[in-house]
Amino acid sequence: MTPSARVQDAIELIDKILTSSRPADGAVLSFFRGRKFVGAKDRRAISDQAWRIQRTHAKLCWLLGTESPNGRLLVMADLIANEDMTLDRVAGFFSGARYGAPKLSENERRMGHRVEDYKTRTEMPRAVRLEVPFWVLPKLDEAFGKNADAEIAALNTEAPLNLRVNTLKAEREAVLNQLSEENHAPEVTLLSPLGLRVHGRMNLASHKDFRAGKFEVQDEASQICALMVNAKPGQAVLDLCAGAGGKTLAIAAAMNNKGRIVACDVATGRLIRSKQRLRRAGVHNATLRILEGDNDKWVKRQKGTFDRVLVDAPCSGVGSWRRNPDARWRLTPEDLERLAKVQDRVLHQGADAVKKGGRLIYATCSLLPEENQNRVDAFLAADPRFKAVPWQTVWPTAVKTPMPEWPFPYLTLSPSRNGCDGFFLAILERVS
């Protein structure tokens, strides 16, 4: 593939991401699925550029002087600002050759000169420098105070590949040794006693141990969430917003396949796809149930039935921006208002299913107070049947690794402090 053709493919991919309603990873997969002729090296270069543009989107817009650039402008600005190329060299890639990018217009050249001029300036606004929507910045300042800049910057780094060893089929040490022999250079995770971290890429679909169910892809924060449910063999557990079933798998392993887990969700497709994961992992104590929404009749009939109810609520996903950098530019204030109402509803829906002495675990992959502690505080004020259980009292028996430093009763994990996705968890016990 010629440099000009590679630039044109990058432009088309960026335009697809900008106009698609799908997350960027789905748009990238769809793009290359229709381009079988693109070689592995070119595919890697094009996708790497697309992700880099997502991670520096605010800076590139500021350099260009526009809030809504197209793929051509973003690719041009990326090559000048992030690859440190001159405009004249970049213009050579926009050659108009066959399969290549058309030549730069006079207006595009003018904007390219602006990028060259502005890229050395230091007066970049804070929200631009931190690659965060300006309206989200005060919310993260509230969450992290003087550490906000470091926390926000960590959200824009590339996340490593985290694996959870499935204790129903393997031990962490054995999987660690196997991956080490294969030169994947795995490391044990510091917080999760089940986790391994791999820097780089693995072809999981063809890996024999993955296909055998010995390990799953799961971020360390998500592993901690499943462990903090602290489900015991023989108990009844409700995973109310199970999604693709990652935490259901982890909880089943913690219960040693003994007891009962019901994994529920309104997203039919994701829940059905989890069947294959359950089968591969050797999980036998989980059943799947598709819900009809807030007023699902089956859930209403489960009053006081479960020892543990996990509500991993729909949220903004701010804590997973490392893996989904485009999500920050899709989020709106209206989304947060809508999500807060959903979070309140699923909390109250899950609460009724908890038996006396049982626990309701509320979790999000968000770092925003209005989705986290504000929701829990509002719930406790409205439902006197529950009290908060400080996470520090559960960790020693549930996780059994050294506790992270976090002095508050609800647990927050973050990329900067803990090296994992941003995550929030509150443990509530039914006392009456």
Domain layout of the chain by residue ranges? 3-124, 161-217, 228-430
- Contact between 235 and 307 under an 8 Å Cβ cutoff? The reply is yes
> Under a CB-based contact definition with an 8 Å cutoff, are residues 196 and 165 in contact?
yes
Q: 225-248 burial string, b = 16+ CB within 10 Å, else e?
A: bbbbbbbeeebbbbbbbbbbbbbb
Give the whole-angstrom CA distance, residue 266 versus residue 258. Answer: 26
Specify the fold of 161-217.
Alpha-Beta Plaits (3.30.70)
The identity of residue 332, as a single letter, is: T
Instruction: Kindly tell me the sign of the dihedral angle through the C-alpha atoms of 254, 428, 140, 417.
Output: negative
Query: Looking at residues 382-409, what average pLDDT do you find?
Result: 97
pLDDT band at 186 (very low <50, low <70, confident <90, very high): very high
Lowest-confidence segment of 257-266, 289-298, 368-377 by average pLDDT: 289-298
Q: Which two tokens stand for residue 108?
A: 């595009």
Total residue length of the chain: 432
Using the predicted structure, report yes or no on whether residue 77 has a pLDDT greater than 90: yes
Task: Assess whether pLDDT exceeds 90 at residue 401.
Answer: yes
Mutual orientation of helices 40-55 and 24-33 as an angle, nearest 10°?
160
Q: What is the pLDDT of residue 200?
A: 80
CA distance to 7, 31, 65, 73, 82, per residue, from 76 (Å)? 9, 20, 13, 5, 10
413 forms beta bridges with 423
Domain at 228-430: CATH code: 3.40.50.150
Give yes or no for residue 334 having a pLDDT over 80.
Answer: yes
Residue 11 CA: distances (Å) to CA of 17, 19, 271, 297, 407: 10, 12, 35, 49, 47
Q: What percent of the chain has pLDDT over 70?
A: 100
pLDDT digits (tens, 9 = 90+) for 212-265: 999 999 999 999 999 999 999 999 999 999 998 999 999 999 999 999 999 999
Proportion of the chain above pLDDT 90, given as a percent: 87
Across-strand partners of 424? Answer: 364, 412
Give pLDDT tens digits for 404-428.
999 999 999 999 999 999 999 999 9
Query: Which pairing describes strands 354-364 and 386-389: parallel, antiparallel, or unpaired?
Result: unpaired
Residue in the structure block whose two tokens are 């793929």: 71
For residues 282 and 169, is the Cβ–Cβ distance under 8 A? yes
Once rounded to an integer, what is the mean pLDDT over residues 184-193?
A: 96
The torsion defined by the Cα of 235, 239, 243 and 246, in degrees rounded to 10, comes to -40
Element (H, E) at 238: strand 236-239
What count of other Cβ atoms lies within 10 Å of the Cβ of residue 20?
Answer: 15
Residue 398 has pLDDT above 90, yes or no: yes
Q: What value does the mean pLDDT take over residues 154-169? A: 96
The Cα–Cα gap between 400 and 395 comes to 6
In angstroms, the CA 371 to CA 139 distance is 11
Residue 338 tokens read as 């809508």
3-state secondary structure of 157: coil
Report pTM: 0.93
Q: pLDDT band at residue 69, thresholds of 50, 70 and 90?
A: very high
Distance of CA 98 to the CA centre of its chain: 39
Q: Give the active site residues.
A: 365
Nearest-CA neighbor of 269 among 16, 26, 14?
Answer: 26
Answer yes or no: is pLDDT of 167 > 80: yes
Quick check: 294 pLDDT over 80? no
Q: Are 165 and 215 in contact (CB under 8 A)?
A: yes
Same fold for the domain at 161-217 and the one at 228-430? no
* Exposed/middle/buried for residue 426 (C-beta within 10 Å: 0-12, 13-18, 19+): buried
Q: How much is the pLDDT for 227?
A: 98
